[in-house]
């Protein structure tokens, strides 16, 4: 598919205030500073659509981007940012979990994982939680341009091995770079496939 139009819609402090119409939503989440905003900008080919901050943990609400007047990309707060207060982290965790568990328009969660680092316990725990809640998700490895091919393969292989301790079958995954656009076509194609499934489920196809 091709993204012809993309616009920031609004930011919501809880899922009960989020849009409820018949529009599919694809959420992006990961550890703070994993590159969510950069990935959204890369996918939409707009450098300033999602605000990028050098300070991790700046995304504090549920941010909506309307794509092709057809579906939403949803940027969720990053998890695991220890410098936020315990109260703020607890508030974000509640907001995220309630959105993921109860928002009916959520079609898929894209869990972003930094390909530059070894498997992180918090990522594995979050992925396993999604499985326990039967929430559909995919993995997106980010910042692949910063590694040599051998190092990238080694890091991603280590993450896969860790996941196989808990999963018989690994989820769909994408390897991306917001710097050179790697993986963009694959993710957009997947959006198209999921949109077709959404229309069939909702009686539109």
Q: What is the pLDDT of residues 39-65, one digit of tens each?
A: 999 999 998 898 765 444 445 789 999
pLDDT value, residue 39: 96
Euclidean distance between CA atoms 111 and 88, whole angstroms: 21
Which of the 8 DSSP states describes residue 77? P
pLDDT at 88 over 80: no
pLDDT value, residue 52: 61
Its sign, for the CA torsion 140, 130, 24, 59, is: negative
pTM across the whole model: 0.92
Euclidean distance between CA atoms 4 and 48, whole angstroms: 16
pLDDT value, residue 59: 59
Euclidean distance between CA atoms 87 and 73, whole angstroms: 27
Euclidean distance between CA atoms 83 and 32, whole angstroms: 11
Instruction: Single out the residue of 186, 180, 184 nearest to residue 143, CA to CA.
Output: 180
pLDDT at 203 over 90: no
Tokens of 55: 């300070």
Euclidean distance between CA atoms 162 and 70, whole angstroms: 36
Taking residue 4's Cβ as centre, other Cβ atoms within 10 Å add up to: 10
pLDDT at 81 over 90: no
Average pLDDT over residues 135-143: 97
Strands 62-67 and 71-75: antiparallel
pLDDT at 121 over 80: yes
Q: What are 140-198's pLDDT values in tens digits?
A: 999 999 999 899 999 999 999 999 999 999 999 999 999 999 999 999 999 999 999 99
pLDDT at 202 over 70: yes
Residue 117: exposed, middle, or buried by beta-carbon count in 10 A (0-12, 13-18, 19+)? middle
pLDDT at 80 over 90: no
Domains of the chain: 6-201 (3.40.50.300)
E strand segments, 21-131: 25-30, 62-67, 71-75, 106-114
Q: What are 15-45's pLDDT values in tens digits?
A: 999 998 899 999 999 998 899 999 999 999 9
pLDDT value, residue 84: 56
């Amino acid at each position: 598919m091709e993204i012809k139009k993309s616009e920031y819609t609004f930011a919501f402090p809880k899922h009960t205030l989020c849009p409820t119409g018949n529009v599919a939503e694809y959420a992006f989440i990961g550890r703070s500073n994993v590159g969510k905003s950069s990935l959204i900008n890369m996918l939409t080919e707009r450098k300033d659509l999602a605000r990028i901050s050098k300070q991790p943990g700046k995304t504090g609400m549920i941010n909506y981007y309307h794509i092709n007047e057809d579906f939403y990309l949803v940027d969720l707060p990053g998890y695991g940012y220890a410098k936020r207060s315990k109260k703020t982290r607890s508030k974000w965790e509640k907001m995220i979990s309630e959105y993921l568990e109860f928002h009916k328009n959520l079609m898929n969660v894209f869990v972003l994982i930094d390909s530059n680092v070894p498997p992180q316990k918090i990522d594995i725990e979050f992925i396993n939680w999604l499985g326990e809640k039967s929430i559909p998700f995919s993995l997106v490895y980010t910042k692949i341009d910063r590694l040599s091919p051998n190092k990238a393969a080694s890091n991603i292989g280590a993450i896969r091995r860790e996941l196989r301790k808990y999963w018989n079958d690994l989820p769909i995954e994408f390897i991306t770079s917001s710097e050179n656009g790697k993986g963009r076509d694959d993710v957009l194609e997947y959006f198209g496939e999921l949109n077709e499934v959404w229309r069939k489920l909702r009686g539109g196809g």
